Structure 1
Amino acid sequence: MVKYIGSKRALLPWIMGAIETIHHQEPLRSVADLFSGTARVGHALKKRGFYVISNDLMSYAHVLAQALVEADAGVYSRERLEPILQRLNALPPRAGWFTRAYCEHSRYFQPHNGARIEAIREGLEAEAQGDPLLRAVLLTSLMLAADRVDSTTGIQMAYLKRWARRSYNDLRLEYPPLLPGTGQALQKDALEVARGLEADLFYLDPPYNQHSYLGNYHVWETLTLWDRPQTYGVAHKRVDVQQRKSAFNSRREAGEAMQRLLGAIRARHLVVSFNDEGFFRAGEIEAMLRDWGYVHRLSRPHTRYVGARIGIYNPQGQKVGKISHTENHEFLFVATHSRKVYEAIAQSAGMAAD
């Protein structure tokens, strides 16, 4: 999966453990993930055997969910994909607007890889032959390949002052980690889609502060849309970063948005991820969840992303600002209408604490 500031890679066993505890008490068939991001959680849920509905408003996130949740590895097999990936890998480099914007004017990738990204991105549309899931699988392979040779700390608000060692490697497409079976990938506003969805459990990992995922991962959005956007600033962000705002990125609007979302969901069980860098205190989230019946809060310390630990530098290589903290606390709220599930979660949390 791509590097991601909100990634649940390190927290995935913890999240899956809570969901497994629920499943053991009241078997689950379907899970809805309304803010899917890189689809890491949805991918893990699908691997476990649940039917997963992944939703996200970002185009790059929708593509990742199409490939990692919706696409069936039995249909898009390695044997079918390898010849296509080999043809795309063999394309001659094609330096153009993407290379200029993201490799020369800014430094997310080295120019030799930028030119390969452009050639492959142009070529994969013809290879997809109008099949949206095949297109998503190929785009996912390209995003994963580009992520392996980038020069960032994991967010695209900035890039490293010196080229990362991995950026010298040659970009190469590989077969992505597709899973057998199907799921569903949606690209809608969570507030609009929630009321119409049915699932046994909803997993929520909403944006938690003023930093938008579009701003943090604008290069992936551009790579997906391939729309030659106007850009601004040293980071060459898409100009629509300034217009495409989520209520969850506004301190003034986030509380109402969260309450509206919780009021729209119809399910027996709910799992909510949040941390102490967000707009809400843990007690505030528990208060929002009181109508769900039984609520249990789990927490654990978590190391912040690498950029927060090494600091931010300006284009002259001078360190800007001070590092405030290197660790935060992650919260997992389990809300359920079942007392049996609540007691099992509380017991498992007590055993983990012991």
Structure 2
Amino acid sequence: MQVTANDQLSYAATLARCYVQADADAVRDDVTRVLSELSALPPQPGYFTETFCEKARFFHPKNGARVDAMRNRIAALSLPPDVEAVCLVSLMEAADRVDSTTGVQMAYLKQWAARAHNDLSLRMPDVLPGRGEALQLDALDAVQTRDVDVAYLDPPYNQHRYLGNYHIWETLVRWDAPATYGVAQKRVDCRERHTPFNSRKQIHEALRDLIRATRAKHLVVSFSNEGFVTRDELSELLAERGHVAVVATPMKRYVGAQIGQHDPSGKRVGTVSHLHNKEYLFIASPERGAVDSAVAALRAGEYAEGSRDTLHSSVESR
């Protein structure tokens, strides 16, 4: 089985190079050696520390200085692409374990999170044996590069952009010291890099074009009831591919919704409209049996764990 992953953002493409493209047996020794070297480096405050630990408070300065030192060394080593990707993911995940956020990088906590005081520690990522492929293309270009048995599409649902939510990882991977703006010190290109999937006016046409262009026999699409396109609208778009089923699973909303809204002094203000949403998996195929089998597998698997009694699925012939 050959697996290919694609994402246009640099940090996400790097994750794919680590967990899909890299072969554990081929990179393990080199990565182990590099991680040992990185772990022994003394702190070296630089752009990362100044931007994300002093101007903003996403990480404790002691850990920011270590990130600076390690990332500069990775850049200087000119490593093979797969080895570099695994090392970058190790650093990204290490920083994630000592951050001071509620999950996304739109804001940081007013007081340091307890984990932010821990020392940054590199670990070997759980790279799989065997080699896949990672692309970094526009989605519409990527789906036309080859014929595949199954394509899984996970587009943005609404106005929330992954670049803004995880801008620090984009900077950590690119290591381009961009100009920043706002309290969160976002990259200035967060204002410039847009996708039609984040536009209420453009997403319907973008999804239609993507679905039509995908060279796959079976198609699986992830979406949400908080998206700009309704369940029925997306089902109609997918009906061109044959039989369509939808598996809906209730999920807790992002942790920020659980915490609520607060003013600068920390006082809770306003109310949160709802604490749960529905995640949809759409399955489309010319083969009715393939759709039914996929729905049965999802109902029996981890996707439905803890919420099987509230799953809703339907199979439609168009």
Q: TM-score, normalised by structure 1?
A: 0.82
Q: Match for residue 89 of structure 2?
A: 140
Q: 1:293 to 1:324 in 2, by over 3 A?
A: same
Q: 2:69 aligns with which of 104, 116, 119?
A: 119
Return the letter of the residue paired with 2:9: M
| Alpha carbons of structure 1 residues 211 and 120: separation in structure 2 relative to 1, 3 Å | same
1:287 and 1:176 map into 2 onto residues whose CA distance is: 40
Q: How does 1:204-219 map to 2 (within 5 A)?
A: 204-219=153-168
What per-residue deviation string (whole Å, max 9, x for no partner) do you get for residues 301-323 of structure 1?
11112122102445443445432
DSSP 3-state at the match of 1:268: strand
| Cα pair 2:19 2:128 within 8 Å, conserved | yes
Which of 234, 238, 242 is equivalent to 1:293? 242
| Per-residue deviation, 1:105 | 1.1
Deviations, residues 156-184 of structure 1 (Å, cap 9, x unaligned): 01111111111110001111110100011
Gaps (5+ residues) in structure 2?
310-318
* Runs of at least 5 residues in structure 1 that lack an aligned partner in the other structure: 1-28, 30-50
- The alpha-carbon deviation at position 350 of structure 1 amounts to 7.3
State the partner residue of 1:98: 48
> Counterpart in 2 of 1:33?
none
CA distance in structure 1 between the partners assigned to 2:298 and 2:169 by the alignment: 37
Which one of 261, 267, 284 corresponds to residue 216 of structure 2? 267
1:347 to partner: Cα distance:
5.1
Aligned match for 2:149, one of 200, 213, 228: 200
Q: Find the counterpart in structure 2 of residue 338 from structure 1.
A: 287
Equivalent pair of 1:303/1:328 in contact (CA under 8 Å) = yes
Task: Specify whether residues 81 and 254 from structure 1 end up closer, same or farther in structure 2 by C-alpha distance, changes over 3 A only.
Answer: same
**Paired residue for 2:314?**
none
Alignment coverage as a number of residue pairs: 303
Q: Determine the structure 2 residue equivalent to 1:80.
A: 30
For 1:128-277, list aligned pairs within 5 A. 129-277=78-226
Tell me: CA distance 1:255–1:172, structure 2 relative to 1, closer, same or farther (3 Å).
same
Match of 1:281 among 223, 230, 242: 230
Alpha-carbon distance in structure 2 between the residues aligned to 1:210 and 1:165: 31
Change in CA separation of 1:80 and 1:345 when aligned onto 2, cut-off 3 Å: closer
Alpha-carbon distance in 2 for matches of 1:308, 1:145: 26
- Call closer, same or farther: CA 1:159–1:194 in 2, change over 3 Å: same
Distance in 2 (CA, whole Å) between partners of 1:123 and 1:346 is 47
Change in Cα spacing, 1:320 to 1:61, as seen in structure 2 (3 Å) is farther
- Secondary structure of 1:195's counterpart equals coil
Answer whether contact 1:300 1:329 (CA < 8 A) is retained.
yes
TM-score with structure 2 setting the length: 0.91
Mapped contact 2:178–2:188 kept (Cα < 8 A): yes
Does the 8 A contact of 2:31 with 2:86 survive in 1? Answer: no
Q: 1:108 aligns with which of 49, 58, 71?
A: 58
For the aligned residue pairs, the C-alpha RMSD in angstroms reads 1.7
| Partners of 2:30 and 2:83 within 8 A in 1 | no
